[in-house]
A and B are shown apart, each in its own frame.
Chain A
Amino acid sequence: GESVGLHLPTLSVQEGDNSIINCAYSNSASDYFIWYKQESGKGPQFIIDIRSNMDKRQGQRVTVLLNKTVKHLSLQIAATQPGDSAVYFCAEIPPLTDSWGKLQFGAGTQVVVTP
C-alpha cells in the first residue's frame, strides 16, 4: 500500500554542522507535506510545510526540499544546535478528494546533536 517512510532511523550530528533528514513517499498524488519535530515527553510540533507545486521552501534555519520525480522529501537544518535533538517526522496529506486532514506519518528519525 501507499506509505510514507524515512531512510534513517537515527542521525548523529555534531553541533554547528548541517543536518539532512530524508523522507520517501509513495503516494504520487499527495499534494501537501509537513515536517514535525517531537521532543522527548512532548507532542509533535509543526516545523515547516510545502505544497506539491513547490520544490523548496525556507524557514528559520530550516529548508524543505521536494523532489516529485523520485518522491523524496528532505529537511535541512542549518547550524544544528543541542535544542534540535528530537525525533523528526514527515507527513503527507492525500489529495483533497480523499479524507481532508488525514495525515500519514513516517516512522520518524531520531536526531542526536553531539558537542
Chain B
Amino acid sequence: EAQVTQNPRYLITVTGKKLTVTCSQNMNHEYMSWYRQDPGLGLRQIYYSMNVEVTDKGDVPEGYKVSRKEKRNFPLILESPSPNQTSLYFCASSFQGAGGKNIQYFGAGTRLSVL
C-alpha cells in the first residue's frame, strides 16, 4: 500500500530537549516536504527536498532542520524545541508530473506539544 508514515503520532516534550520526527514514503517519490498546521493559519511549509541531499527552506524554517540521506526518509529535527513549535506536523511526498503537476500525499500527522 502506497503511504507516507510519520512517527511518532503524538509527542509531549519539554523546552530544549532535542527531538526528531521521522517520515518515510514507499512510493519512490523524489519530492518530500514538511508542513505545520496551526488554527486559522492553515498549512505552512517548513522545509522541502527535491531529491537526496537536496533540501531548501519553506515559509517557516526557523527552529527546524531536515536531512535527506535516503530517498524514502525525510526526518524533521528540532534541536531545541520551544513552546511556539507546539503544532500539528505533516510530512508529504510527491513526484513531478508533466507541466508542474504536483499532487502531494500526506502522512497522518504528528501532534507535538512543547511544555
**B101 engages A101 (CB within 8 Å):** no
Chain A residues within an 8 Å CB radius of B96: 100-101
A71-91: which have CB < 8 Å to B? 89, 91
A41-88: which have CB < 8 Å to B? 41-46, 49, 51
Contact of A25 with B by CB under 8 A:
no
Q: What CA separation (Å) do A49 and B105 show in the bound complex?
A: 13
Q: What CA separation (Å) do A51 and B44 show in the bound complex?
A: 22
B67-115: which have CB < 8 Å to A? 90, 92, 94, 96, 99-109
- B80: min CB distance to chain A, Å: 27
Query: Closest residue to A48 on the B side, CB-wise?
Result: B103
**B103 engages A43 (CB within 8 Å):** no
Evaluate whether A43 and B106 lie within 8 angstroms (CB atoms) in the complex, with A51-B99, A101-B94 already known. yes
Tell me the interface secondary structure of chain A in the complex: loop
- How many residues on A have C-beta within 8 angstroms of the other chain's C-beta atoms? 25
Contact of B48 with A by CB under 8 A:
yes
* B interface, size bucket: 20 to 34
Contact of B58 with A by CB under 8 A:
yes
Evaluate whether A101 and B102 lie within 8 angstroms (CB atoms) in the complex, with A42-B108, A43-B90 already known. yes
Tell me the interface secondary structure of chain B in the complex: strand
Contact of B50 with A by CB under 8 A:
yes
Evaluate whether A103 and B102 lie within 8 angstroms (CB atoms) in the complex, with A42-B108, A44-B43 already known. yes
Query: Closest residue to B111 on the A side, CB-wise?
Result: A41
Chain B residues within an 8 Å CB radius of A105: 35, 42-44
- Give the contacting residue for A100; candidates B35, B44, B58, B100; CB below 8 A: B100
Query: Closest residue to A91 on the B side, CB-wise?
Result: B43
**A93 engages B108 (CB within 8 Å):** no
Evaluate whether A107 and B102 lie within 8 angstroms (CB atoms) in the complex, with A44-B90, A99-B56, A102-B48 already known. no
Chain A residues within an 8 Å CB radius of B31: 100-101
Chain B residues within an 8 Å CB radius of A96: 100
Closest 5 pairs between A and B when the two form their complex, measured CB to CB: A43-B106, A105-B43, A107-B42, A105-B42, A101-B102
Interface residues of chain B, those whose CB is within 8 Å of chain A, are: 4, 31, 33, 35, 40-45, 48, 50, 56, 58, 90, 92, 94, 96, 99-109
